[in-house]
Amino acid sequence: MSQNRQMNILKVAINVPLPTLFDYLPPLKSKIEQLKPGIRLEVPFGRRTMVGILLNVESETSLEIKKLKAAKLLIDSEPILPRELIELGKWISNYYHYPIGETLFNILPKLLRDGDLPAEIKDKTEPTKNKKIVEEKIPILNKHQNEAVKTIQSTQNFKPFLLDGVTGSGKTEVYLNAIESVLNQNKSALVLVPEISLTPQTIARFTERFKQDIAILHSRLTNKERAENWQRAKGGIAKIVIGTRSAIFTPMSNLGIIIIDEEHDLSFKQQSGLLYSAKNVGVMRAKLLDIPIILGSATPSLESVHNAEKNKYVKLHLPERAGKAVHPSINLIDMRNNAAKHGLSNKLTAQIKEHIARKGQVLIFINRRGYAPTLMCKNCGWSAECTNCDARMTLHMQPKYLHCHHCDKTIKVYKECPKCHSTKLSPSGFGTERIEEGLETLFPDTKIVRIDRDTTKTKGKINKIVADINNQNYQILIGTQMLAKGHDFPNVTLAAILNADGGLFSSDFRAEEYTAQLITQVSGRAGRAERPGEVYIQTYNPEHPLLIQLIQNGYQAFAQDALRERKEALLPPFSHWCLIRSRSNKQELALQFLENVKTLAEPYLTENIQVLGPITPPMARRAKQYHAQLLISSPNRNTLHKLLDKLIPSIKPPSNLHYSVDIDPVDML
Ligand code: ADP
Ligand code: ZN
Ligand code: ZN
C-alpha cells in the first residue's frame, strides 16, 4: 500500500442499486483544490458514462491501482450538496438500509441528478418585493400560544417540540411567530406540510406575513421549477421554504428551524423507492444541525405521543380553540335502529335540514369516491371484480364505467350478469357520487358540491371550489379526505361522518389510530368561527370502546388507551419493525424468496428478535403481481438494525422479482 500514499483516490456515489461507493482517480489535469466533497463529476461506469457525487478524497483503495479508472470531468466548481446533507444522506442510507448512491441522488432534484443544470444560479440579486405586511391581520397570541412560542424561542439548539393543539387552536400562529424570531437572527426556516394541505390558503398565510422571499416545493412543479426553487433556497435567496415530503432535503443557508405541520399525516412517509419518513429525517436533520424542530398536530401519531411521554420530545399544549370558536359536540347515530334513505339516517337528514335552515353549511364525509364500491348481481350474488387484482371494481356513474382503484383498469358497465345472465345488477354500498345523488333528491333546492379526486382533476378547480364554498355559494359539501384536511371553512356548523366503522375492524393494527385521527380532524371542520359546531357519526358499532373514549374524552384520552393496548401487545412504538416485501408474477416465487431471506437471517437471530411470515397480505394480487411479506421485529431498535446490517447486503433477489425493505412501515398491506 505504501505506493498508494501519494495517490488521491476519489470516493464517488453513483445512482445504482449497490450499497458501496466507487473508487476513481481524479480527472487528468485536475487540481487537488478542485476536488471538493459534494461536487458532481462524470465517471465511466461499465460501458456508460454516469454522473457521480464526490464524497471524499482518500489515499487508499482496496482495489489494484492500475485497475482504477479516472473520472472524466468535474461538473461543479462548488459543492452541489452541502456537507450537512451528505451526512444526512449517510444516516438515511444506514437507517433505511438503502444504497448510498441512490439515497444521495434521491436528495437531488431530477434535473440536477442528470448533471444538466449548474449548481449555482448566476443572478444572486435578491428580488426585493415592496411588500406591505398587513399588521392588523396579526392576532394577539392567547396565553397558551404565548407560552408555546416562549418555550420554542428559549432554545437555538436541537430540541424536538410536539405542538399538540386541538384543531383551530392557532398552531399556525405559533409557527409564524417561531419563524419570525428565526428570521430576525438572519436564519432561515423549513416548513413541511402534507400533500393535500399545501393550498393557496396555507401559502397566503405565510406570504402575507413575511417580507422575505418564500420558495414553494410540491409535487406539481415542473422539474425546472423544482430545481430553480431548490437553488433559490440553497443560495440563501429564499429564506423560507414551504413544501411537501421531499422538501425536507432542500439545502438551506443557515437553517434555524424545521416545522412539520400535521405530523401524523401519512403522506410524510414515501411509499416507493427510498421508503423514508420525512418526519424521522427531519428530526435527524435538526439534530445534525443542532436546531429546534416543531412537530404539530391536533391528532399526534402515537409514536410522537410516546416520545413526548419519554421526554424525547418537549410537549407544548394548546387545549383551546383560538379566538371565539368553541369545541363542537359529537354525537353517535346507531344505524342498527335508525331508518336510512340514500345512505343517510333520518336523524342525520333532519339535522342537515335544520342547519341549512339556520344558514349554516353542512360538511359530509365519506371515505369512498365513485358511485358504489361494487356492482352486484341480485340473482346469484356475483360482484364485479378486477381481473388484475384481488379487489372489487368501483362503479362510477359520471361518466359511467367500472374502475379498479388499485391498478387503474377501467371497463364498461355490465348489462347482464356474466355468471347467470340475469339483468338484476345493482350498485352495492355508497360512494360520494351516490350520496350526492341522494342529497339532491332529499334537498332539491339546496346547492351541493362534491369534492373528491374525480371532481378536482383540472388545475385550479379545487381552489375555485374552496373560494365558492367560502362565498356561501354552496350549502352542502360532500367529499373524501380532501375535505377533512387543511381547509378552513368558517361557515360549516354541521359535520357528518357516514361510515366510521371501516377502520374499527381492520387487520392493520394502526387502523384504529387512523380512524380516531380522521374523526377528530373531520369534527374539527365544524364550528371554526363564531358559530358553534355539531358533529354526527353514523355507526353500526356505537358500543365500540374506542369510539366511546374518543367522543367522551377526546383524542388524548384515546391515545392513552391505544398506547396501553400497544404496550401489552408489544406493538409499535413498543417494538421496532422492518417489513420485507416481495412481488412477482408468480406467488410461489414471492413466497420462496422470503423463505430464503428468513433462512439467511437465521444465523443472526437472538431471543430479542421475532420473525413472522412469510405471509401474503389481504390483497395478495395487485396489478397482476403477487405480493408477500416478512416481518422482522424487536423491542430494541439497535438489535433490529444490527441484524439488518448483516442480513440486507446478503440478499440477492432473482431478476424476475422485486423486493423492498420498509423500516418503520406505516401500512401493512
Ligand atoms: P390550527 O393551525 O391550530 O388549526 P390556525 O392557526 O389555523 O389553527 O387558527 C385557527 C383560526 O384562529 C385562524 O383563523 C386564525 O387566524 C385564528 N387565530 C389564531 N390565533 C388567534 C388568536 N390568538 N386570536 C384570534 N384568532 C386567532
Ligand atoms: Zn348473477
Ligand atoms: Zn385492479
CA angle 252, 255, 258 (to 5 degrees): 105
Give tens-digit pLDDT for 157-191: 999 999 999 988 999 999 999 999 999 999 999 99
Share of the chain above pLDDT 90, in %: 74
- Distance (Å, rounded) from C-alpha 365 to C-alpha 348? 13
Question: pLDDT value at position 4?
Answer: 42
**How many other CB atoms are found less than 10 A from the CB of residue 134?**
9
Calculate mean pLDDT across residues 196-209: 83
C-alpha–C-alpha distance, residues 417 and 382, integer Å = 7
- 494 vs 502: CA distance, rounded Å: 22
Rounded to a whole number of angstroms, the distance between the first and last alpha carbons of the chain is 51
Q: Which triple of cell numbers denotes residue 51? A: 454522473
Q: Which of 69-83, 92-106, 110-124 shows the lowest per-residue confidence on average (mean pLDDT)? A: 110-124
Q: Which ligand is nearest to the CA of 411?
A: 3
Mean pLDDT over 2-10 rounds to 67
**321-335, 350-364, 390-404: which range is least confident on average?**
321-335
Cell of 353: 335540514
* Domains contained in the chain, CATH given: 4-113 (3.40.1440.60), 135-318 (3.40.50.300), 329-368+430-566 (3.40.50.300), 576-663 (3.30.70.600)
Quick check: 5 pLDDT over 60?
no
pLDDT at 198 over 80: no
Measured from the Cα of 175, ligand 1's closest atom is 6
Phi/psi region, residue 229 (left: phi>0; alpha: psi -120 to 50; beta: rest), is alpha
CA angle 28, 33, 39 (to 5 degrees): 80
Tell me the C-alpha to C-alpha distance, in Å, between residue 461 and each of 452, 454, 491: 11, 11, 20
Residue 1's pLDDT band (cuts 50, 70, 90) = very low
The confidence score (pLDDT) of residue 120 equals 57
Residue 308 in grid coordinates: 413526548
Q: Rounded to an integer, what distance in angstroms lies between the CA atom of residue 16 and that of residue 25?
A: 19
Q: Which residues contact 622 (CB under 8 A, 6 or more apart)?
A: 388, 389, 390, 391, 406, 407, 583
The per-residue pLDDT for range 610-642, each reduced to its tens digit, is: 999 999 998 999 999 999 999 999 999 999 999
How many C-alpha atoms does 122 have within 13 Å on its Cβ side? 1
Q: How remote is the CA of residue 383 from the centroid of ligand 2, in Å? A: 8
Residue 292's SS3 state is strand
Question: What CA–CA distance (Å, rounded) separates 214 from 232?
Answer: 9
Instruction: Give per-residue pLDDT as tens, 535-571.
Output: 999 999 999 988 899 999 999 999 999 999 999 999 9
pLDDT in tens, 205-245: 899 999 889 999 988 888 888 889 999 999 999 999 999 99
Q: pLDDT band for 396, please (50, 70, 90 cuts).
A: very high
Q: Distance between CA 546 and CA 491 in Å, rounded?
A: 29
Q: What is the pLDDT of residue 201?
A: 79
User: Contact 367/499 with Cβ under 8 angstroms?
Assistant: yes
The reported pLDDT for the residue numbered 487 is 74
**pLDDT, tens digit (0-9, with 9 covering 90-100), for 586-606:** 999 999 999 999 999 999 999
Ligand 1 atom nearest the C-alpha of 298 is 3
**Selection from 15-19, 46-50, 285-289 with the highest mean pLDDT:** 285-289
**Residues in contact with ligand 1 (CB, 6 Å cut-off):** 139-142, 145, 165, 167-173, 322-323
CA distances to 234, 576, 586 from 77, in Å: 15, 43, 49
Residue 125 has pLDDT above 50, yes or no: no
pLDDT surpassing 60 at residue 129 = no
CA of 460 to the centre of ligand 1 (A): 25
The string of pLDDT tens digits covering residues 504-519 is 777 789 989 999 999 9
Beta strands in 59-96 (DSSP E): 73-74
Which of 463, 507, 515 shows the shortest CA–CA distance to 620? Answer: 507
What does the pLDDT look like over 136-154, one tens digit per residue?
678 999 999 999 999 999 9
SS3 for 593? helix
Ligand 2 centroid to residue 367 C-alpha, Å: 28
What would the DSSP string read from start to end of 603-650? GG--TT-EEEEEE--SS-EETTEEEEEEEEEESSHHHHHHHHHHHHHH
**Residue 159 vs residue 503, higher pLDDT:** 159
Q: Does residue 4 contact residue 62 with C-beta atoms inside 8 Å?
A: no
Q: How many CB atoms lie under 10 A from the CB of residue 418?
A: 10
Q: Which DSSP state fits 310? A: T
Q: Return the ligand number nearest the Cα of 623.
A: 3
- C-alpha grid cell for residue 224? 425546472
> What pLDDT is recorded for position 532?
75
**According to the model, what pLDDT value does residue 620 have?**
93
Q: What is the DSSP string of 133-186?
A: --GGGSPPP-HHHHHHHHHHHT--S-EEEEEEE-TTS-HHHHHHHHHHHHHHTT
Q: Nearest C-alpha to atom 11 of ligand 1 is from which residue?
A: 168
Grid-cell match 415542473, residue found: 222
Q: Are 321 and 420 spatial neighbours (Cβ–Cβ below 8 Å)?
A: no
| Mean pLDDT confidence for 530-537 | 84
Tell me what pLDDT residue 555 has.
93
pLDDT value at position 299? 96
2, pLDDT greater than 50: no
CA quadruple 109, 115, 119, 122: dihedral sign? negative
Q: Of 146, 173, 318, which is best to mutate to test ligand 1, by the most ligand atoms within 8 angstroms of its C-beta? A: 173
Stretch among 204-208, 400-404, 428-432 having the lowest mean pLDDT: 204-208
Model confidence, pTM: 0.93
* 617 Cα to the center of ligand 3, angstroms: 15
